[in-house]
Structure 1
Amino acid sequence: MSEPSPERSQAAQDRMVRLAGEDLRVVVPSSHFFRGAIASWKDIWDHRELWWLLVKRELKARYKDSTLGFLWTLIRPLVQLLIYYFAIGEILGASRAIENFGIYVFAGLTAWGLFNEIIASSTGSIVGNSGIIKKVYLPREIFPLAAAGAAFINFCAQMVVLFAGAIIISGIHIPSVVTYVPLSIILILVWGIAAGLFLAAVNVYLRDVQYLVEVTLLIGMWLCPIVYSYSMVVDAAPKWLAELYILNPMANAVLGFQAGVWAPSTTSAALPDNLISSMLIFIGIGIVLILLAQRYFAKAQRNFAQEL
């Protein structure tokens, strides 16, 4: 092995002297609620380029060694839409109860799929990146946020298929799209990110959480009006239970997304009163939950390296 040149040795010594003269910097996030939250989010913003690289890595890893690659993101929802429209809607007769059943159920599944993927991928994001976390310091929140970013890009691809199918099969009402769809997406994102940050931190200490999340998400899908309509809940359940049902933020998000995309000629699936107001309230609650989840994450991450 060749000896380093005198110039390089002198440069290395100069760097060591310069670093030795600097004050030590604390890299553990501050536990102060407001100052710590501002500093943490600023640190995340400063690493936004790294966040985007992690998002792209998530997407590439999903279709690694695949010939069609990202096209599978379009093929899979297209096949699902055809199955719901022909097999379940027309052959099994589900469209008799809910008009344009294929669009209705696919809209609900697309909205729920975004939330489901954010939660499922965020929960294991810290454990899955343990090698990086144990070697270098960076804002660890970036890993669940990258999982959420990848889930959102997949959702956008599915939404292209959904809108194309809706235009061909039933048509869409532009004012409804503009009113309901953005609110529904924001509602799903804020609650998904809040839950993802919290669960990603808890999963480091309790590895059973990721399996509990899978079961909870399976149950949660059936607590949203995806394969049945909200009007069925109102007709079949007591009034107090129907009112309790609509307190589910994801039920509001799914209903809002369906209201924007699904355009029946009848009132076969009525919407709850004040749906827009409810979504706005839940968005506000979700933003508060993001702040609380990030503060818990900042406290819990102090021992991530030891636990991993």
Structure 2
Amino acid sequence: CCVVAYVAALSDPDFDSPGKSRGLFDVFRHRYLLSLLLRKGVATRYYGSVLGWAWSYVRPAAQFLMYYLVIGVVLGANRGMDYFPVYLFAGIITVNLFSEALRNATNAITDNGSLVKKIYLPRELFPVAAVGVAFIHFLPQAAVLLVVCLFLGWTITWMQVAALLVGLIVVLVFALGLGLFFGAINVAYRDARNVVDLILMFATWASPVLYSWEMVHKLMPTWLFNLFMVNPMTTAVELFHNVFWLPLAPDSARPEHLLLNAGIGLVLALLTLLIGQFTFRKMEGNFAQHL
């Protein structure tokens, strides 16, 4: 009887052998664990801090003031662009979301090494939760931008809602893909986190945050400019500009083929996610011995 029950259990399609993983699909099957990791990440983010969640506003505000004074006032970008502060802040919060999500995901496995070594659970939960925590901390910054835009007379349409969602998806998917890739490598080679820091150092300058896409168009050959425009972060930043800034400055030039570029950027982000997931699954079997 016991043997029959054992054989029946093995043949059950819902039966999983220990350690077997379906990758990111397992994250959806462990939503409760994901919610616990999200709560932990949010609760411990500012643990012991006097200002607490206020830091979610202070850091982007300090960035904005620094870039606005240097790029906008000293270098004169403010004089050549309507509503330059809105343009600048929309780009800053987009890049901040990407930067925090990628940095968190890269360190997610090593930061949770004790859990990874002691119990089995889908390891992808950790980088996914890290990206989720970054998104939660992005929301106060987005709320500030939204309030400012509403005060300036901004109105929203369904097309803008769709553009905003696509922009968010591109950023989060791209960051998760890179985070899975570098997070897996970081377990064995801690140099990966330094490589990520270098990438993030250039992230603000490699996207049209502090300058307009028109400036790039004038300086780059056509083929290089086209590559620049389909970069996932460029498409995400331009989608955010399209949502928040362009309605306030309707006479400003709109990038050509924005929808096509956004589609290509999304495909590239998804391809990055596939590569990151493949690398993560190839290396996760050795996580415990490296931690």
TM-score using structure 1 length: 0.81
Partner of 1:258: 241
- How much does 1:147 deviate? 0.6
1:234 matched to 2:225? The reply is: no
Alignment of 1:1-308 (within 5 A): 26-29=17-20, 39-78=22-61, 80-81=63-64, 89=72, 93-168=76-151, 170-175=152-157, 177-263=160-246, 264-265=248-249, 267-268=251-252, 270-308=253-291
- How much does 1:191 deviate? 1.0
CA distance in 2, matches of 1:71, 1:271: 35
Q: Deviations over 1:140-197 (max 9, x none)?
A: 11111111000001111110011112222x4324125324211111111111111111
List runs of 5+ in structure 2 lacking aligned partners: none
- Aligned AA (2:218): D
Q: Deviations over 1:34-57 (max 9, x none)?
A: xxxxx3344322321111111121
Q: Deviations over 1:110-147 (max 9, x none)?
A: 11111111111111111111111111111111111111
CA distance in 1, matches of 2:266, 2:128: 18
- Aligned AA (1:190): V
Q: Is the Cα–Cα contact under 8 Å of residues 231 and 265 in structure 2 kept in the other structure?
A: no
Q: Structure 1 pair 226/45, CA: closer, same or farther in 2 (3 Å)? A: same
Larger Rg: 1
Give RMSD over aligned pairs. 2.6
CA distance in 1, matches of 2:99, 2:171: 10
Question: Number of residues paired by the alignment?
Answer: 279
List runs of 5+ in structure 1 lacking aligned partners: 1-17, 31-38
Q: Structure 1 pair 58/274, CA: closer, same or farther in 2 (3 Å)? A: same
Q: Out of 209-218 and 66-75, give the one that drifted further.
A: 66-75
CA distance in 2, matches of 1:128, 1:267: 48
- How much does 1:254 deviate? 0.5
Q: Structure 1 pair 143/262, CA: closer, same or farther in 2 (3 Å)? A: same
Identity %: 37
Q: Deviations over 1:70-118 (max 9, x none)?
A: 2332344345556666776457643112221111111001111111111
- Aligned AA (1:67): V
Q: Structure 1 pair 165/81, CA: closer, same or farther in 2 (3 Å)? A: farther
